[in-house]
Amino acid sequence: MSQISIYLGSKCNANCTYCHRESTSENPFSAAMLQYLSRETAHSSTIIRFMGGEPTLYIDEMRQAMSYCHPATSYSLSTNGRLLNDDAVTAFLLDNNVSLTVSYDGTSGKRGYDNILIHPDYISNLQKFKKLNISTTLDRDNLDLNKLMIEFGDISNILKRQVRLYPHIMHVTSDKNRPLSLSVQDAHYYADQWISYVGKFIQQLNTYGVINLKTLFLFNYLWMCCHNRYEYGETYCFNRNLLKMDTQGNYYACLYIRDKRTYLGNIAEGKEAALQNMKRLVEELSPGCLACELYPYCGTACIMSQDHHIECLIQKKILTWFLNEIEKYRLQSFSMIDKLLGGGKNDRPSVCF
């Protein structure tokens, strides 16, 4: 399965302190890009991920793109959710079976708008989605996973469904968000929390056959990392299975920063040329990653972050520990994990909330 992330534009109805997206001119889908989507989705199982700005401000653009995609194409988007009290917006997303990731940073976050997850008008619409995730951006003032776990438990009760914590570090890309960057001490604190939660998850799974749904994503993230096998020059954000593009059919190494550095070519030149340009960018910006034994698993983390060394520290600490745990518990194959997670009718594990 391949994924294409499409940057629709920078329009947004929020102004988050840590936002690292750069402004851009608004461009409709080009004819070449629409034809590209038609071709690409016809021959493989494809996920189209719409990005912004705020994607729900681009309903017409998403509708146009979908009209060119194969009916089996899957869609997802990340949203601040502020328009999800609009029944027309909600209906469009539901009708197209869009997988929704709503941003929520907890009571210590800095999104600059009210928490939609406590308002009845939003809750009733959110409960309609079968595919719903909640993400949170972590910065130096919002780094307590224990506190966030409790808050996410409260959200689960409100939504009447299990909500898992989906955390990601704020990428330092400008002077605007640098004051929120993590220190080395912060990085160790964050990594130690992650290790503690996943360690308990593995022990419960291995000893009792119990899945803790609250921490399932933390485990799954590391498990998938250990099976990524990025090839030379590929990154977590741009690789043979994940392409990042704009509405004009231009490839970028990073959709948050779209400039001469991150421009990799366009659809006329082809994906392979873009991958070659990605290699050159990694060799220029982070040659040390290519020599790291963990590179095949992490794919350089955020290649454009001005605090790449901090993200590298976190990845190295967590992945090194996790690889040792895999060996310790002999969790060597997807088949074994699938079995433990309920792959067979008679070996379904218990579920711990």
Asked whether 60 and 43 are in contact (CB, 8 A), the reply is no
Q: Is the pLDDT of residue 347 over 80?
A: no
| Closest to 193 (Cα-Cα) out of 208, 210, 215 | 215
223-276 pLDDT tens trace: 889 888 999 999 999 999 999 999 999 999 999 889 999 999 999 999 999 999
Q: Is 275 part of any domain?
A: no
145: in domain:
yes
Residues 112-161 pLDDT 10s: 677 788 788 899 999 999 888 888 889 999 999 999 998 888 888 988 88
Confidence of residue 54 (pLDDT cuts 50, 70, 90): very high
Question: Residue 340: pLDDT above 80?
Answer: no
CB-hemisphere CA count at 13 Å for 337?
15
Higher pLDDT, 347 or 210: 210
pLDDT of 104 higher than 80: yes
Domain contains 215: no
Predicted confidence at residue 353, as pLDDT, reads 41
Q: How far apart are CA 74 and CA 186, in angstroms?
A: 37
pLDDT score of 237: 94
Q: Which residues contact 286 (CB under 8 A, 6 or more apart)?
A: 300, 303, 308
DSSP string, 146-194: HHHHHHHHHHHHHHTS---EEEEEPP--STTTGGGPPPHHHHHHHHHHH
| Residue (of 197, 121, 117, 201) closest to 160 by Cα position | 117
In this prediction, residue 326 has a pLDDT band, given cuts at 50, 70 and 90, of confident
Domain that includes residue 170, residue range: 1-181
**Rounded Cα gap, residues 273 and 279, in angstroms:** 10
- Whether 31 maps to a domain, the answer reads yes
φ, ψ at 94 (rounded to 5°):
-70, -40
Say which CATH number the domain at 36 has: 3.20.20.70
| Residue-level pLDDT at 1 | 58
pLDDT for the residue numbered 348? 41
CA separation for the pair 194, 218 (Å, rounded): 7
C-alpha to C-alpha distance for 219 and 322, rounded to whole angstroms: 9
In a domain? residue 175: yes
User: Residue 48 in contact with residue 6, Cβ under 8 Å?
Assistant: yes
Q: What is the DSSP letter of 247?
A: T
217: tokens are 């994503």
Indicate the number of domains in the chain.
Answer: 1
Q: Is residue 307 part of a domain?
A: no
pLDDT of residue 18 exceeding 90: no
The pTM assigned to this predicted structure is: 0.90
Alpha-carbon dihedral 270, 48, 11, 113, rounded to 10 degrees: -140
**Residue 337 binned pLDDT confidence (cut-offs 50, 70, 90):** low
User: In the chain, pLDDT over 70 holds for what percent of residues?
Assistant: 93
pLDDT of residue 335: 54
pLDDT at 106 over 90: no
pLDDT in tens, 169-222: 989 988 888 999 999 999 999 999 999 999 999 888 888 878 888 888 899 899
Q: Is 120 within a domain?
A: yes
State the average pLDDT for the chain: 88
Residue 142 within a domain: yes
When pLDDT is cut at 50, 70 and 90, the band that residue 55 belongs to is very high
Residues in a beta bridge with 265: 251
- Considering only 2-11, 86-95, 193-202, 324-333, which range has the smallest mean pLDDT? 324-333
